[in-house]
Amino acid sequence: MPVLEPVPLPEYDGVTYISLRAFREKGPEQTIKDVKDFQSRETDIIICTYLKAGVHWLDEIITMLVNKTKTLASGTKGQRTLEGIPELSVLDSLPSPRILNTHLSFKYIPTKHVQNKGKIVHMIRNPKDICVSLYHHAKKDVVMNYDVPWEKYFENWMSGKVFYSSWYDYELGMEEASIQYPRMIYTCYYEDFKREPKNQIRKLADFLDINVSDQLLENITEETSFENMQSKKTDNTKFVNMKEAEGFIYRKGDIGDWKNHFTVNQNSRFDTQFKDRMKDSKYNITFE
Ligand code: A3P
């Protein structure tokens, strides 16, 4: 896979996207249209997450559950990111159930998947940690091309000017969809997976209708620990970024790194905005 050069970021309908290959080759409008028109199979599982909420982790867990394997898979989730693939027909050759993923808002999820009532797994993570995680990622990744000081980045986050939609628009859209399609969308929390991975993986397996032995649950829990994935997995960032030969997805994998970045004033402004935007939400988000 050739490394990518920095290019201006794609924009569509007032939203800035990241310059994944499909966006580069087809432009944002066609890329999003192709995702919406994607011929989903009834058995497809789509992982829906905002940026930095844990898609690599979840993809690995689901891959191991579906295949009942004891070790990490060799591929990367980027090979199955719907809005990243210029020619979606490459996914035709994958066996069912396919494990796909997207950061696009729910309104752009393949229409056929929604008609099929296909499974969606949605992982949510506290937005302060997402904000920090994205800050570090955006500095390094050629598809984001966004190396700005923390203070400027923070202001952009506060005004919703990051990538894809704002965190609030994305998550409130997912919540609305979950109310409309309760059996189709499984929402889980990054922090719960950190605190009690085995129990959370078991619940996820139930949602996916997968019978899993206690031993396999143990294996999956151990294999997908942050430390293990950090040492064993390569990620897509390795292939497209010339300077970052090792990839940089597996950074810290902690809860609460925001405390090392937010000033007291930034924290208080964030809390005020969070309270206001999330006042009608039933999500159980905590900041530790
Ligand atoms: P940090 O930058 O806070 O370390 P995504 O996969 O959605 O891009 O999210 C990446 C974030 O998930 C990174 O957060 C990364 O370290 C964390 N992560 C990746 N694998 C993980 C794992 N197995 N356990 C916990 N966190 C993980």
Out of 55, 57, 139, 163, mutate this one to test ligand 1's pocket (max ligand atoms within 8 Å of CB): namely 57
Contact between 19 and 143 (Cβ < 8 Å)? yes
User: Is the minimum distance from the CB of 192 to ligand 1 under 6 angstroms?
Assistant: no
Who contacts 2 (Cβ-Cβ below 8 Å, separation ≥6)? none
Q: How far is CA 143 from the centre of its chain?
A: 15
Q: Is the CB of 257 under 6 A from ligand 1?
A: yes
Best probe residue, ligand 1, of 77, 123, 133, 204 (max atoms within 8 Å of C-beta) = 133
Mutate to test the pocket of ligand 1, among 251, 252, 260, 287 (most ligand atoms within 8 A of CB): 251
Cα dist from 241 to 2, 92, 128, 238, 246, whole Å? 9, 28, 26, 6, 9
Residue nearest to atom 10 of ligand 1 (CA): 52
| Any atom of ligand 1 within 6 Å of the Cβ of 252 | yes
Query: Ligand 1 centre from 52 Cα, in Å?
Result: 7
For ligand 1, say whether the CB of 99 is within 6 Å of any of its atoms.
no
Please give the single-letter amino acid code of residue 218. Answer: E
Which two tokens mark 7?
């290019």
d(CA 126, CA 171) in angstroms, rounded, equals 11
**Beta strands 15-16; 11-12: pairing state:** antiparallel
Cβ neighbours of 206 (radius 10 Å): 12
List, by residue number, the catalytic residues. Answer: 103
Q: Output the CA 94–ligand 1 centroid distance in Å.
A: 25
For domain 11-277, the CATH superfamily is P-loop containing nucleotide triphosphate hydrolases (3.40.50.300)
Estimate the crossing angle of helix 167-180 against helix 127-140, to 10 degrees. 120
Q: What does residue 228 show for φ and ψ, rounded to 5 degrees?
A: -70, -45
pTM over 0.85: yes
Question: What pLDDT does 281 receive?
Answer: 98
**Structure confidence at residue 204 (pLDDT):** 98
For 78, the token pair is 């980027």
C-beta separation of 7 from 24 below 8 A: yes
pLDDT in tens, the chain (288 residues): 677 888 999 999 999 999 999 999 999 999 999 999 999 999 999 999 999 999 999 999 999 999 999 999 998 899 999 999 999 999 999 999 999 999 999 999 999 999 999 999 999 999 999 999 999 999 989 899 898 999 999 999 999 999 999 999 999 999 999 999 999 999 999 999 999 999 999 999 999 999 999 999 999 999 999 999 999 998 777 777 655 556 789 999 999 999 999 999 999 999 999 999 999 999 999 998
Report domain extents, the chain. Answer: 11-277
